A and B are shown apart, each in its own frame.
Chain A
């Protein structure tokens, strides 16, 4: 016999497993479970159901056969991507994805941290507020605008870069045909877009530092540089490491918008700038190459998952409560 709940005890956990206690649990809290239902349905449909489609990576897709009728080819698609001679693009794509992300993460976080420290300690409140507002503006506009800006600067005939070069008598450059400079351009625009946002996060972290330490150090005769070096930086280090580690978990996921808007379908630049995401997008939109695209996507997801697991293990070692699980 189940004990009657004591008066005053408003939350009662149902005990036991099995269908009866399941329906009892749902029935008891049906409003709450109902409130979760739309979201659950959303993820079931849009995140879990398509997992079945991973099977596309193992078949040679044709329209007539569809998902289950097309011939099963095992790991052939992966062979193609990894060892298929001129088609073995996966190595270059992975290299680009990872290296660009590393640059984005370290340069981005470094500059954001640096800017936050300066913003925090500079005098002049109006100046601080204005600069902060201006810095956040790029975050708001879409990457399409970024593409438009890049076009108006780098376009061969019309871009302002070449106009300026002409004034100095230097021969105009066709940047869109020059793969080597794009790593700098991409890092610049990625940093440009995220600087305001990240600076706010580091500012929040700095505000969490005890003011008393700064006051005590002033009494001891420290100047601003010493304060930054001995108080601010060491106390920001954990935040910096944590933010970098979290970002590193997503190292296999590229900034698709940025790359696609700046590079588009310019094949000349692909060797230097193509990442997994843009390759997969093109394999869908331009080639409709279902098998190869899914194979590349599965590869990306698997290694992305591994990256998050590794990063989480590292975070666990450093600071148990900050770990994701």
Chain B
């Protein structure tokens, strides 16, 4: 009897099961810590404003209310224009940026170029020493980009790290394919477009995804260069809403709600949900590519 019990004890307390037990506990804890903040925001957005003011934010809404969302969707001009700006800036910036960076990455790894290494260093050096915020700001304003969407797109177009990442990856394209294409009379750009790009889709997709994410989440450029509220992208609109410097409710919305029932607090969180929702919805589909991309960057970077 005791022998059988000790055998069971060994099984339960074996190293494997202790490890698994602790592991599951730890991972669950991490998972909860990552999810709960989002649930807090989601729950708060569906909570009646009065309840928030009286009892504070909580994960389980005491009283459900769609007021915040009504305020946003019945009078959606601000959110819609912010979406337009964000989508325009993100798609333009990503397409142009990836195009320029992949061209440069390809050209820089061509061994027949005498100045390739010097130019690579020229680009790389910008990551070592930079001029600081103020000279950069004054330059961009001096170029006349203040209060334009250009200021949101152009200064963030390229990253030295991405160019060098693309360069390193493209080195793995077999030289023989390129040589035989040249013998057949293909020009450099044709080789780039028809041969190298299709073989480099992992790194290009990675660079594109990360660039798009950077553009989508950028609020900093707006805070520096774009004072006109109609040109604000989503994250900046959210920032202004949450810091209560700006309510995403138009005058029309204010008159829709009876005096004193304006959902100022829940609207903050509802704005957060509406601005971030698409990213979170797209997330399951994109996640695989990001994970692949991070791994590529880590291994070949």
- B is a partner of A: yes
User: How many angstroms between the C-alpha atoms of A121 and B230 in the bound complex?
Assistant: 51
User: How many angstroms between the C-alpha atoms of A137 and B115 in the bound complex?
Assistant: 42
User: How many angstroms between the C-alpha atoms of A51 and B105 in the bound complex?
Assistant: 25
Q: Is B257 an interface residue (CB 8 A)?
A: no
* Inter-chain contacts of A297 with B (CB < 8 A): 131-135
User: How many angstroms between the C-alpha atoms of A288 and B219 in the bound complex?
Assistant: 20
Q: Which of A25, A142, A294 has the most CB of B within 10 A?
A: A142
Chain B, interface size: which category?
Answer: 35 or more
Q: Secondary structure at chain B's binding surface: helix, strand, loop or mixed?
A: helix
Within the complex, the shortest CB–CB distance from A284 to chain B, in Å, comes to 6
User: How many angstroms between the C-alpha atoms of A281 and B220 in the bound complex?
Assistant: 10
User: How many angstroms between the C-alpha atoms of A285 and B242 in the bound complex?
Assistant: 19
Decide: A152 and B44 in contact? CB cutoff 8 A. Answer: yes
Q: Is A181 an interface residue (CB 8 A)?
A: no
Q: How many residues of A contact B (CB 8 A)?
A: 100
Q: Is B254 an interface residue (CB 8 A)?
A: no
Q: Is A108 an interface residue (CB 8 A)?
A: no
* Inter-chain contacts of B295 with A (CB < 8 A): 200-201, 204
User: How many angstroms between the C-alpha atoms of A144 and B219 in the bound complex?
Assistant: 8
Contacting residue for A11 out of B23, B112, B122, B280, CB 8 A: B112
Which one of A83-91, A95-103, A154-162, A267-275 is at the B interface?
A154-162
Within 7-58 of B, Cβ neighbours of A (below 8 Å) are at 14-16, 19-20, 22-24, 26-28, 30-31, 33-35, 37-38, 40-41, 44, 52-53, 55-58
Looking across the interface, which residue of chain A has its beta carbon closest to that of B296? A204
Which one of A28-36, A209-217, A230-238, A313-321 is at the B interface?
A28-36
Q: Is A258 an interface residue (CB 8 A)?
A: no
User: Taking A36-B119, A142-B276 as contacts, is the C-beta distance between A158 and B53 under 8 angstroms?
Assistant: yes
Within the complex, the shortest CB–CB distance from B196 to chain A, in Å, comes to 11
Q: Is A323 an interface residue (CB 8 A)?
A: no
* Inter-chain contacts of B103 with A (CB < 8 A): 35-36, 38-39
Looking across the interface, which residue of chain A has its beta carbon closest to that of B284? A133
User: How many angstroms between the C-alpha atoms of A39 and B167 in the bound complex?
Assistant: 13
User: Taking A25-B114, A25-B115 as contacts, is the C-beta distance between A53 and B138 under 8 angstroms?
Assistant: yes
* Inter-chain contacts of B44 with A (CB < 8 A): 152
Within the complex, the shortest CB–CB distance from A125 to chain B, in Å, comes to 13
Q: Is B5 an interface residue (CB 8 A)?
A: no
User: How many angstroms between the C-alpha atoms of A290 and B40 in the bound complex?
Assistant: 41
Contacting residue for A35 out of B157, B189, B239, B268, CB 8 A: B189
Within 183-230 of A, Cβ neighbours of B (below 8 Å) are at 192, 195-197, 200-201, 204-205, 223-226
Q: Is A73 an interface residue (CB 8 A)?
A: no
* Inter-chain contacts of B55 with A (CB < 8 A): 163
User: How many angstroms between the C-alpha atoms of A282 and B43 in the bound complex?
Assistant: 34
Decide: B133 and A284 in contact? CB cutoff 8 A. Answer: yes
Q: Is B3 an interface residue (CB 8 A)?
A: no
Which one of B63-71, B77-85, B180-188 is at the A interface?
B180-188
User: How many angstroms between the C-alpha atoms of A280 and B107 in the bound complex?
Assistant: 37
User: How many angstroms between the C-alpha atoms of A217 and B298 in the bound complex?
Assistant: 28
Extra pairs beyond A142-B218, A148-B272 (12, CB < 8 Å): A29-B110, A38-B100, A121-B19, A121-B23, A122-B27, A131-B28, A140-B213, A142-B217, A145-B272, A195-B34, A225-B15, A257-B220
State the 5 A-B residue pairs at the shortest beta-carbon distance, nearest first.
Answer: A53-B135, A297-B132, A223-B15, A142-B217, A39-B104
A residues near B (Cβ < 8 Å) are 10-14, 25, 29, 31-33, 35-36, 38-40, 42-43, 45-54, 56, 115, 118-119, 121-124, 127, 130-138, 140-145, 147-149, 151-153, 155, 157-160, 162-163, 192, 195-197, 200-201, 204-205, 223-226, 256-257, 261, 264, 277, 280-281, 283-285, 290, 293-294, 296-298, 300-302, 304-305, 308, 324-325
B residues near A (Cβ < 8 Å) are 14-16, 19-20, 22-24, 26-28, 30-31, 33-35, 37-38, 40-41, 44, 52-53, 55-59, 100-101, 103-104, 106-108, 110-115, 119, 121-124, 126, 128-140, 155, 157-158, 160, 163, 179, 182-183, 187-189, 192, 213, 216-220, 223-224, 235-236, 238-239, 242-243, 265, 268-269, 272, 276, 279-280, 283-284, 287, 290-291, 294-295, 298-299
What are 15 of the A-B contact pairs (CB < 8 Å)?
A25-B114, A35-B192, A40-B123, A43-B122, A43-B123, A133-B287, A134-B30, A141-B217, A160-B56, A163-B55, A192-B34, A204-B299, A293-B133, A294-B134, A297-B131
